[in-house]
């Protein structure tokens, strides 16, 4: 991403715009104006920053680079990992495939860049990294998705489990940025909406990569009764079961055919509200914490969780 175009003045025009919005709201009746739209851009990007911390920590740990999160403003000490695994200084997944290792490193660098650039534009308003659970939360998600057939799921155990772990996050990131688009105020050239679209595009590339790699192994046995396609479908079903009543998710096989691109019948990516995203990362509907965020998100998001 071009950090010079994701300009802090563009984004944190929010600080002044928020005060101006309040003033205009008071003056609106006298001026014959409609109610101004609330500027929630900073809140939305801080919500996104929580998710970017999570994704960056996951991929950096998988590639043995978790210490790089500290240099970007995160806190690797607040990342819970499986017992005996550090995710630091080369202690990552023992990738059997050099290609999967290279893909994981590329995504790790992208997610780390997202943390850096969002923190840069938010400046002192950027929320700190919350506690992230990349150990027991994955085990719980694996057990829930498989109906107990998979216990102690560890996404850092091997290439295939890493891909399953990545699948849990990537589609959610795409739908989260898509859903946030309608809430962003700064839609000018080089503004918040344009840059959010740029991050969404990168997340979509990541999701397509992970879904393709899983589809290539769709018939590989994970357990005596579950193949890769079955586990992916189970994860998709779990996300659908907690995010709300709508069917916003799909596995990698639909009607016997490849389903790499997650989209509706019009070929449009799904949107999730912040509340729906929260339901997934907390692994429970309408929760305030739990799952991958055992102590909750960093920041106050009451203004957008109800939208």
Q: What tens digit of pLDDT does each residue of 253-267 get?
A: 999 999 999 999 999
- Please indicate, yes or no, if residue 20 is contained in any of the structural domains: no
For residue 271, pLDDT beyond 50 = yes
For residue 4, pLDDT beyond 80 = no
Torsional class of 223: left (φ above 0), alpha (ψ -120 to 50), beta (otherwise): beta
For residue 17, pLDDT beyond 70 = no
- Please indicate, yes or no, if residue 234 is contained in any of the structural domains: yes
**DSSP 8-state code for residue 227:** B
- Nearest in space to 171 (alpha carbons), one of 113, 112, 211, 229: 211
Q: Report the pLDDT averaged over residues 78-106.
A: 98
**DSSP 8-state code for residue 304:** H
- Please indicate, yes or no, if residue 12 is contained in any of the structural domains: no
For residue 136, pLDDT beyond 90 = yes
- Please indicate, yes or no, if residue 17 is contained in any of the structural domains: no
Mean pLDDT of the chain: 89
Q: What tens digit of pLDDT does each residue of 160-216 get?
A: 999 999 999 999 999 999 999 999 999 888 899 999 999 999 999 999 999 999 999
Distance of alpha carbon 61 from the chain centroid: 16
Tokens (6 digits) for 95: 């990738």
Q: Report the pLDDT averaged over residues 90-109.
A: 98
pLDDT of residue 190: 87
pLDDT of residue 145: 92
pLDDT of residue 7: 52
How many domains is the chain partitioned into structurally? 1
Tokens (6 digits) for 280: 């997934």
Cβ-proximal residues to 187 (8 Å cutoff; 6+ apart), any chain: 193, 194
- Give the model's confidence band at 38: pLDDT under 50 very low, under 70 low, under 90 confident, else very high: confident
Contact (CB, 8 A) for 165 and 140: no
- Please indicate, yes or no, if residue 29 is contained in any of the structural domains: no
- Give the model's confidence band at 27: pLDDT under 50 very low, under 70 low, under 90 confident, else very high: very low
- Please indicate, yes or no, if residue 14 is contained in any of the structural domains: no
Q: What tens digit of pLDDT does each residue of 283-295 get?
A: 999 999 999 999 9
Strand-strand pairing, 79-80 and 132-133: parallel
For residue 36, pLDDT beyond 70 = no
pLDDT of residue 5: 43
For residue 135, count other CB atoms closer than 10 A to its CB: 17
- Give the model's confidence band at 10: pLDDT under 50 very low, under 70 low, under 90 confident, else very high: low
- Please indicate, yes or no, if residue 31 is contained in any of the structural domains: no
- Give the model's confidence band at 35: pLDDT under 50 very low, under 70 low, under 90 confident, else very high: low
Domain that holds residue 288: 40-305
List phi, psi (to 5°) of 290.
120, 175
- Predicted TM-score (pTM) of this structure: 0.89
Distance of alpha carbon 219 from the chain centroid: 27
- Please indicate, yes or no, if residue 32 is contained in any of the structural domains: no
Distance of alpha carbon 183 from the chain centroid: 17
- Give the model's confidence band at 3: pLDDT under 50 very low, under 70 low, under 90 confident, else very high: very low
Q: Report the pLDDT averaged over residues 67-95.
A: 97
Q: What tens digit of pLDDT does each residue of 208-242 get?
A: 999 999 999 999 999 999 999 999 999 999 999 99
DSSP-derived secondary structure for 97-125: -HHHHHHHHHHHHHHHHHHHHHHHHHGGG
CA distance 111 to 242: 25
Residues linked to residue 290 through DSSP beta bridges, in sequence order: 293
């Amino acid at each position: 991403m071009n950090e010079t175009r994701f300009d802090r003045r563009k984004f944190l025009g929010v600080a002044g715009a928020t005060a101006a919005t309040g003033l205009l709201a008071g003056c609106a009746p006298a001026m014959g104006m409609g109610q101004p739209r609330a500027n929630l851009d900073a809140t939305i990007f801080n919500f996104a920053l929580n998710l970017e911390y999570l994704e960056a920590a996951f991929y950096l740990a998988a590639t043995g680079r978790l210490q790089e999160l500290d240099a970007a403003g995160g806190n690797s000490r607040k990342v819970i990992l499986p017992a005996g695994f550090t995710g630091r200084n080369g202690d990552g997944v023992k990738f059997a495939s050099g290609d999967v290792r290279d893909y994981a490193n590329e995504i790790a660098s992208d997610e780390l860049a997202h943390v850096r650039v969002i923190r840069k534009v938010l400046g002192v308003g950027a929320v700190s990294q919350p506690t992230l659970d990349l150990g027991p939360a994955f085990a719980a998600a694996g057990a829930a998705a498989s109906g107990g057939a998979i216990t102690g799921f560890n996404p850092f155990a091997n290439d295939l489990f890493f891909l399953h772990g990545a699948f849990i996050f990537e589609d959610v990131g795409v739908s989260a940025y898509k859903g946030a688009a309608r809430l962003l105020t700064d839609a000018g050239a080089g503004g918040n909406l344009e840059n959010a679209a740029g991050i969404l595009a990168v997340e979509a590339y990541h999701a397509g990569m992970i879904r393709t790699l899983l589809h290539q192994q769709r018939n590989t046995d994970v357990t005596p009764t579950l193949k890769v396609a079955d586990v992916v479908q189970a994860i998709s079903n779990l996300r659908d079961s907690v995010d709300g009543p709508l069917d916003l998710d799909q596995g990698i096989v639909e009607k016997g055919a490849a389903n790499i691109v997650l989209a509706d019948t019009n070929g449009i990516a799904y949107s999730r509200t912040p509340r729906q995203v929260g339901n997934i990362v907390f692994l429970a509907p309408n929760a305030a914490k739990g799952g991958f965020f055992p102590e909750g998100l960093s920041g106050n998001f009451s203004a957008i969780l109800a939208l």
